[in-house]
Amino acid sequence: MIASPGGVRRRQVATTMRALLLAWALCMLAAPVEAAAPAWAEPRALNIVDVAGQVPDALLRDAIVVGNRGMAQLVSSQRVGDRLRITLRISTRRSWGGEQWITEATLLGQAPAYDHPGSAAPQSWLRLYRDSGLTQECTGDIRWVYYLDPTLCLPEDGADAWERYPTLKRTLYVSSGALPVEAEGMRLPANMGGSVNLFGDYPWLWAVFTVQATGAPAVAYLGEQAFTFQSYIGPGGVGVFQPLMAQMLARFGRRHPRFALHPPTGANYVLFIYPPAPFNVYSYDGNNLQRPTSGTVRLAPDDGMLSQDFDHAGAYPLGVAWQDADQSAGPYLSLLPPVDRVTPPEYVVPAGAAFNPCYSTGDCPPAVLDSLYAATMTLRVLYLRVEAPYGQLQLVPLRVADANWSPSLAAQPAAAPGTAGVAAGPYTLRLPLVRNVRMPNEQPVGLYDGATGRMVGYLP
């Protein structure tokens, strides 16, 4: 465990970091404006491609790097020259195509859904396998790729929508020649989530993604904390296991602890590692019920407020957090006061539990309920120092739309404490060769790699 520097020190660190980054920008040459950038953008988590290869695999192993459209966990990473190879173990999702099963295996990016932040991944090459030994390649069985274009733009729907950027959806078919197979594998476009699709039913697949290891921020591991947690008992939907939740509430009452965070000096990002939930409770048709998935972790400044949902192990800013959509009055999520605690994954059934039909019928015997109640799991919180890369970056004010937001409100000032009015437009930052850059007059600010849509830092 890391000794606490206290809330005052954390605020001092954030203030110092912002001052340094502002000074960095204001001593540089003017750079061209990226006209395509929006007046503001929603924050994106730091993708695994910007963490793996800098933080040791021993610390990252089994991290849930993608948590929707299936689940992917990190197996290993390897740098070879200017290439980074990332191996993932993928819990797939299946759907019935009328005559046969269709298997979806997730890409490296994560699509934003509801109030869950997404993350963008650069262009990559993929080799797909049926076995952990990587001997049974099935890259040639891929028929099409669905993905979300990572271009920066305003959302088209609020925090109550699963697909919030529908015009960014793309589909490429192998038969069209749009997905060439090259020396490193099938070439995939930069994306903010999506899947490769093949015929058949494969509950598990292994993927080796290769990316060019350029344009990444400098990421340093500073320390971690580990917490023992238990299953969540409380309000909110838990899909087809809602009858079980009703039993647990009646027998034990509410349970949702908050653990105190003690970040070391210099930490500005956190990454959460925890075991998968054993069941996908939102599989209402049952096709994917018994396939593992990720859970929801939240940051918090006190015992009442909660941050938006974090449901994959991207690295998230520690200096800025937005309030959960269920606690928002809109049309934007409010910025939270400095966060100093974390709530563990909201699992109604703990990791390692066997499937029992009573979870969805609500007639579990007391012994089963007691077993679920007593089981323990481990949440690890990794503290990272992330420094923006050298090169061309876009500076875009950060906001998060809530359920009451709509495109018609796009020009309105954000209803968040500590912010100024709407920024005049997008900005470009070149490090370290530019000066006299106009800074956005609205904070916080995201630092984006315009070529890939990755958010690679922030100004709190």
Three-state DSSP string of the chain: CCCCCHHHHHHHHHHHHHHHHHHHHHCCCCCCCCCCCCCCECCCCECHHHCECCECHHHHCCCEEECCCCEEEEEEEEEECCEEEEEEEEECEEEECCCCEEEEEECCCECCECCECCECECCEEEEEECCCCCCCECHHHEEEEEEECCCCCCCCCCCCCCCCCHHHEEEEEHHHCCCCEECCEEEECCECCEEEEEECCCCEEEEEEEEECCCCCEEEEEEEEEEEECCCECCCCCHHHHHHHHHHHHHHCCECCCEECCCCCCCCEEEEECCCECCCCCCCCCCCCCCCECCCEEEECCCCCCECCECCCCEEECCCCEECHHHCCCCECCECCCCCEEECCCCCCCCCCCCCCHHHHCCCCHHHHHHHHHCCEEEEEEEEEEECCCEEEEEEEECCECCCCCHHHCCCCCCCCCCCCCCCCCEEEEECCCCCCCCCCCCCEEEEECCCCEEEEEEC
Q: Is residue 236 part of a domain?
A: yes
Q: Is residue 31 part of a domain?
A: no
Q: Is residue 95 part of a domain?
A: no
Q: Is residue 51 part of a domain?
A: no
The pTM of this model reads 0.88
Q: Is residue 56 part of a domain?
A: no
Return the pLDDT at 398.
Answer: 96
Please state the domain count of the chain. Answer: 1
Give the domain range for residue 364. 218-385
Q: Is residue 178 part of a domain?
A: no
Q: Is residue 430 part of a domain?
A: no
Return the pLDDT at 313.
Answer: 82
pLDDT digit of tens for each residue in the chain (460 aa)? 343 344 444 444 444 444 444 444 433 322 333 446 799 999 999 999 999 999 999 999 999 999 877 899 999 999 988 999 999 999 999 999 989 999 999 999 999 999 999 999 999 999 999 999 999 999 999 999 999 999 999 999 988 899 999 999 999 999 999 999 999 999 999 999 999 999 999 999 999 999 998 888 999 999 999 999 999 999 988 999 999 999 999 999 999 999 999 999 999 999 999 999 999 999 999 999 999 999 999 999 999 999 999 988 889 999 999 999 999 888 999 999 999 999 999 999 999 999 999 999 999 999 999 999 999 999 999 999 999 987 789 999 999 999 988 888 776 665 443 333 333 344 555 454 333 345 677 889 999 998 899 999 999 8
Q: Is residue 306 part of a domain?
A: yes
Return the pLDDT at 413.
Answer: 62
Return the pLDDT at 412.
Answer: 67
